[in-house]
Structure 1
Amino acid sequence: MKTLSNAVQTAKHLVFSKFPNCEAAFLAGSVVRGEATATSDLDIVVFDLSVSVSYRESFFYAGWPVEWYVHNLKSYQSYYESDCKRARPSLPKMISEGLVLQNNGVADTLKVEAKALLRSGPEKWGEETIRVKRYFLTDVLEDFIGATGGEELFCASALAEKLHEFVLRTNGQWIGASKWIVRALRNYDSDLATEFITVFDHYYKTREKEAVIKLVDQVLAPFGGRLFEGFSLGK
């Protein structure tokens, strides 16, 4: 049975069998958050000084699908930098929320560092970045408005992703991808997340676009609304 206790026991056994002397190891993901589903895996982050190059590996172990992230005590920093640049802090989040499986004295320090990074938020967007993002959000919105048939479905998907990015980044928040879009919105504003879900769910059920268009215009309004006339890049 895939319970938390079973997950922890399995993860500990796996870590001990592969990296018995590792500096630290963490179990993260939906199992730890109490959000496990039938397809949930074990997300395990390992820090071991014997590892020269970081790697990620997927495999099955004791009936569990496992996502295995292995680092040394320096290599993970480049992943932090990459995560911060894209504003999706996957690795810091796993470490900050993870259950400690193994600790040779560095687990607490790694957690403190990860939590501090998450609290600091992503790099703030400047006025020019907001202007460019506003233009491309407008562009996708106009495509969505004009599209018909199957094309509009994919325009709606692109619009949802760009809209959530614009909302969160203009408010100094981390963003998400796939299911993490909703989670990132909820972490910022649960009411907004509910509205976001309701509006797009209504569109997908009815193909009525008005509520989606209204939501995008509401988000853009404080920044001057839709942008087309006068926009240029590289001029």
Structure 2
Amino acid sequence: MIERLEPVRAAEQFINLHYPHCQAALLAGSVVRKEATAASDLDIVIFDQTIKSSYRSSHVEDGWPIEVFVHSMESYKEFFQSDCVRGRPSMPNMVAEGLILKDHGELNAIRKEAQALLDKGPDPWDKETLKLKRYFLTDALEDLTGSTSRQEDLFIASTLLIQLSDFILRTNHQWSGDSKWLMRALKRFDPGLAAELAGAFDLFFRNGEKEAIVELTERILNPYGGLLFDGFSIGKPSS
């Protein structure tokens, strides 16, 4: 087993070797939040005015898997915006929470910009988006209740879990997330509801019981008009 350098030292060594002339650099991710596991990597954000376009690359050095996110002093703004539009502010989070490893004076303003976006929260869904999300949840729930194939059930339930989690967060003006970040966002918003959601789907994946999922999905949708199928359309011209 390769012995790892201490994470901050490994990140500094990586930056000095690959980006010695960058204007600023941050170490973000689980090692900064003190949540690192044996499988954790180093997330490094680089600001380098000499690059022509943003990019992301992966490396293994000093025993660490390393994900590096490289931006110019202007290109990061596009990523801030796109992350916020999709409701998953990955880059603003990394910049706001990251440990500064190098700074020529530019980072303070960028970090304030990131934090302001996080504090503002995502834009609310408009009426058409809300209808679309209700319809897709209804469709997935009906697929699950009507399915007689355990193999297909697994995929339907997985889709429904992600869609329902996202719906809960976005309708409550909360940032969403991907993968493990979705559950972490739910726990921050409402630990009790997060536990109920996990319990309902755990019960299904263990025993095939669907009733708790059905009850929870219907309850979450009810304040927004409930299940939606009859009369829904996409792209139909108005008469």
The offset of 1:51, in angstroms, is: 1.3
In structure 1, runs of 5+ residues without a counterpart are none
Give the conservation status (yes or no) of the 8 Å contact 2:144–2:153.
yes
Give the conservation status (yes or no) of the 8 Å contact 2:4–2:62.
no
In structure 2, runs of 5+ residues without a counterpart are none
The offset of 1:103, in angstroms, is: 0.9
Give the conservation status (yes or no) of the 8 Å contact 2:47–2:73.
yes
Amino acid at match of 1:233: I
Map residues 81-100 of structure 1 onto 2, 5 A cutoff.
Answer: 81-100=81-100
The offset of 1:61, in angstroms, is: 0.8
**What is the total number of aligned residue pairs between the two structures?**
233
In the other structure, the counterpart of 1:45 is 45
Amino acid at match of 2:58: S
Amino acid at match of 1:51: I
Map residues 113-152 of structure 1 onto 2, 5 A cutoff.
Answer: 113-147=113-147, 148-152=149-153
In the other structure, the counterpart of 2:206 is 205
Map residues 157-168 of structure 1 onto 2, 5 A cutoff.
Answer: 157-168=158-169
In the other structure, the counterpart of 1:29 is 29
Secondary structure, counterpart of 1:13 in structure 2: helix
* TM-score for the superposition, normalised by structure 2: 0.94
The offset of 1:20, in angstroms, is: 2.1
Amino acid at match of 2:213: V
Task: Tell me which moved more, 185-194 or 157-166.
Answer: 185-194
Find the aligned partners of 2:108 and 2:75 in 1 and give their Cα distance: 18
In the other structure, the counterpart of 2:177 is 176
Find the aligned partners of 1:199 and 1:155 in 2 and give their Cα distance: 14
Give the conservation status (yes or no) of the 8 Å contact 2:57–2:68.
yes
The offset of 1:2, in angstroms, is: 5.2
The offset of 1:21, in angstroms, is: 2.8
Find the aligned partners of 1:149 and 1:14 in 2 and give their Cα distance: 47
In the other structure, the counterpart of 1:186 is 187
Amino acid at match of 1:59: H
Amino acid at match of 1:137: L
Amino acid at match of 1:201: D
Identity of aligned residues (%): 49
* TM-score for the superposition, normalised by structure 1: 0.95
Amino acid at match of 1:199: A
In the other structure, the counterpart of 2:13 is 13
